[in-house]
Amino acid sequence: MKLIWTLISRDLTLAYRQGGGVGTALGFFLVVVILLPIGLGPDNALLQRIAPGAIWIALLLSVLLSVDRLFQPDHEDGSLEQMMMGPAPLELIVICKTVAHWLSTSVPLAILAPVFGLLLNLDPQAAGPLIVSTLLGTPALSFLAGLGAALTLDIRRGGLLVSLLILPLYIPVLIFGVSASSGANTMPDLFTPSLLILAALSLASLVLCPVAAAAAIRSHYR
């Protein structure tokens, strides 16, 4: 446990000291939420109806914007190769780095989502379900994005390629995330099943993505 906490705290410290990935994600999220009402017009009923979906789309794109810093800096300065030579399995290193990315980027976005949603006339009763669904669904976003970052490790500025690889895998998370966020008030019968599916997707990504990402990273060093 000490090793796990050391790896996570290291990445969290670097993320908040550098600030680039977190600030970019939060800034992009805010810009999208501000521009949507301007582009769609002052129709409060329309904004309220599309608010959960718009917030989820802005959130997953914001996560993708910051993922290129997940492995790339450590790969460039040799830290990642040194970690691979240490006692910790590479899969555990991938999990710790992805959890740190989730804590530093996805969790702040999930917590701020209802606040930004006020700009889209989000129903106040939907704030609680939105926070719960984003906290359950964003681990899947981070682990899938980590897989994309591992696959494009040797490609400088591979953010666009990561998006092309990972966005199709985001679709189930987006569908059930929006269903859980908006269904709590309009279709209560869909709320609990959607949350359970989101949790299952996050658990599946926790199990499968680190194994695949570790294999991709090893292939870059052969």
pLDDT tens profile 152-180: 887 766 566 777 888 889 999 999 998 88
Four-residue CA torsion sign, 51, 54, 58, 61: positive
- Per-residue pLDDT, averaged over 208-221, amounts to 88
Measure the N-to-C terminal CA separation of the chain; round to a whole number of Å.
30
Q: How many domains does the chain have?
A: 1
- Per-residue pLDDT, averaged over 186-196, amounts to 79
Confidence of residue 185 (pLDDT cuts 50, 70, 90): low
The pLDDT score that the predictor gives to residue 206 is 93
Q: Tens of pLDDT along 132-155? A: 999 999 999 999 988 888 888 877
- Average pLDDT, whole number, for the chain? 83
Q: Write out the residue range of the structural domain in which residue 45 sits.
A: 2-220
- Per-residue pLDDT, averaged over 14-26, amounts to 71
CA atoms within 13 A on the CB side of 148: 27
Give the percent of the chain with pLDDT over 90: 18
Judged against a pLDDT cut of 90, whether residue 183 lies above it is answered with no
The pLDDT score that the predictor gives to residue 20 is 56
Q: Which residue has the higher pLDDT, 18 or 170?
A: 170
Pick the closest to residue 175 from 192, 198, 141 (CA basis): 198
Lowest-pLDDT range of 8-17, 51-60, 119-128, 153-162: 153-162
Contact 56, 170 (CB under 8 A): no
Largest CA distance in the chain: 58
